[in-house]
Structure formats: C-alpha cells, structure tokens
Amino acid sequence: MSDFTRGSWAGGLAEWIDGDTVFLSVAFTWKLDDAYQRAIFWKAQGYRVRAGGPGIFTRKHYLADVAEIGGSAPDAVIRHNPMATVASRGCSVGCWFCIVPKMEGRTYTELPDFPVRPVLCDNNLSDLSREYQEHIVSRYRATGVPLLDANSGFEPRTFDDEVYRRWQPILRGPWRFGFDEATEGADVERAFRLLRDVSSRRKQVYTMIGHEPFAVCMERIRRVIAWGGEPYAQPFMKLNALEKRPHVRHDWTPRLLSDVARWVNRRGWKSGDFDTYRRSARNRHPAQADQLELAA
C-alpha cells in the first residue's frame, strides 16, 4: 500500500511522444499559449502534433495551424497525474458554468474496464446507476488499490445514505461535493447530516465565488463552516478564458476575489471572520479600510 499516493498534477498541460507523434493534452484554456509554443517546437523537430483536452474544446481553432485537433487518446488522464483514472464520462446535472456536459454530454458513458488507480476523477459518482457504482467499488476491492481521492466528488442532490454506505468502506480521502449556488443549500445540508460522524477535514466542499453577489457567496461559505465542513473557494472563470484571471461580476473586485479565496483556502476562517482578515498590516482588506475611515 505504501506505493500508492495521490500523485501530482502536471499543471494543466501534458505532452508525450508516441512514435512520430507528439500529443498535447490541454486541461485549461489559459494553457493554450504554452501549448501553441510547444506545438511549434515539436513540429520544428519533425514530429506530427495532435492536441486535445478540455482547454481545446471552447477554442478549437486556436492551435489549428500548428496541430491536428481532436480525436481520442485513451487514458490521457494518466499523463496529467500517473495516479489518476476515470471510470465514466459525462454528467446529467448540466451546470451552466461547467464544461463537462458540453464536452462529454449529459448522459453517462461507462468505462467498465477502467484502470484502477488511487485518484478517481469521475464527474458525478453519486448520480451513476447503483449497479455501476457497485461495479467501481468492487474493482477497487478486488485489486486492493486504495481510493485515496474521489477527485470531483459527489452530487449533493443524489447523495443519500445508500451512496454513503456504498463508498464509505473504500474511500480513504475526503468526501468532496459542491455548494456552488444558493439554491443547493438544502441538498448540501442533508449531505452534511449523512456525514455527521466524519471529521471536518474529510468534508471538503467546493464553493465557487464571484458568480453570485458577495453576500450570497459568503453565506454559502459560512454555512459550510457552521455545518462542520471545510470550504474550498474557486473564483468564477469563463470557460474560454485565455488568462488565469477570474471574471468579475456583481459587487466583486479582483482584489476581493483573491482575498476571499486566500482566507478560505488557507483556513483563515479558523482564526477569525473575513471582516477581520488582512494579508499584512500594510495591505488591509477594503472593508477594513472603510472601517478605519469611519472611525477617523
């Protein structure tokens, strides 16, 4: 068991050579410029270049003059993390901010012979059929490979006691699910009740910020903390963003998005509320500056 780890991720751009062909797998659109430069380099070395991945999907023509776009590369996820695997594709939920239903569809494609590895990257484990969930669990039990991370997690709406009891014996890592919009509150709270005996460090909740007003996003974060979980804040980004910069909406600013993400993801909430958070004595949060001006 000591040979199994969560591995490490390539950072959004993976490349490998197979015969006379170089493959570029682009996870994020903001890695397209890097992918373009790599394609130019490999073509200059005489290689055929093929490019694909989620980062290509919304900008299919970006590398069209330096690489062949599309096609399939089985088990490409291992090039991003040697400990990662995928047992199904697609997601039925259809979140407007997610590329999965657009790229993989809203029906599930099962991959029953998937290679069993410690990091399982399926999009929505709890919404798969009961039979296929049991198939995945049985594969892990039969091979003895520990499930260290169900990376994309479970859907609160379909997470019930049966799902919990099915996965609990093999899942060694955190229980991951999302609370990305205020309308999901009741389902997320119910999921927390099912996980009441699980430690807070093992209840990790993706809480997107920036797509709803500041107060609404903060309320979701505070509810996760109050329910005994650990939030993980992800600033909203457009699916075709060429720079790794959040898309600013509502009453947010780039600075406020950055500060909230730092406060949440570095567990600053353990030592105080966001209203008292500051990066440094010389770099206060805007809310604190306002308070100081009022006091003066």
Tell me: the pLDDT tens digits for 11-47?
Answer: 999 999 999 999 999 999 999 999 999 999 999 999 9
Start-to-end Cα distance in the chain: 61
Query: How does the average pLDDT of the chain come out, rounded?
Result: 92
Task: Say which residues have a Cβ less than 8 Å from residue 138's Cβ, sequence separation at least 6.
Answer: none
Two structure tokens written together for 55: 């980062």
At 275, the amino acid letter reads D
| Cβ atoms of residues 234 and 209 within 8 Å | yes
d(CA 95, CA 29) in angstroms, rounded, equals 19
pLDDT greater than 80 at residue 295: no
Tell me: the pLDDT tens digits for 214-266?
Answer: 999 999 999 999 999 999 999 999 999 999 999 999 999 999 999 999 999 99
pLDDT greater than 90 at residue 1: no
d(CA 22, CA 18) in angstroms, rounded, equals 6
Q: What is the pTM of this model?
A: 0.89
pLDDT, mean of residues 147-162: 95
pLDDT category of residue 296 using cuts at 50, 70 and 90: very low
pLDDT, mean of residues 146-161: 95
State the residue for tokens 């669990």.
137
Q: Strands of 68-69's sheet, edge to edge?
A: 13-18, 21-26, 48-52, 68-69
73-77, 162-166, 276-280, 292-296: segment of lowest average pLDDT: 292-296
Tell me: the pLDDT tens digits for 56-100?
Answer: 999 989 999 999 998 888 899 999 999 999 999 999 998 888 889
| Cβ atoms of residues 234 and 207 within 8 Å | yes
pLDDT at 234: 95
| Cβ atoms of residues 173 and 150 within 8 Å | yes
Q: What 8-state DSSP symbol labels residue 271? A: T
Count other Cβ atoms within 10 Å, centred on residue 82. 14
The closest alpha carbon to 256, from 222, 231, 233, belongs to 233
Q: Residue 102: what are its φ and ψ, rounded to 5°? A: -75, -35
- Domain chopping of the chain, boundaries: 13-69, 81-295
Can you name the CATH fold of 81-295? pyruvate-formate lyase- activating enzyme (3.80.30)
pLDDT at 288: 39
d(CA 97, CA 203) in angstroms, rounded, equals 23
- What percent of the chain stands above pLDDT 70? 93
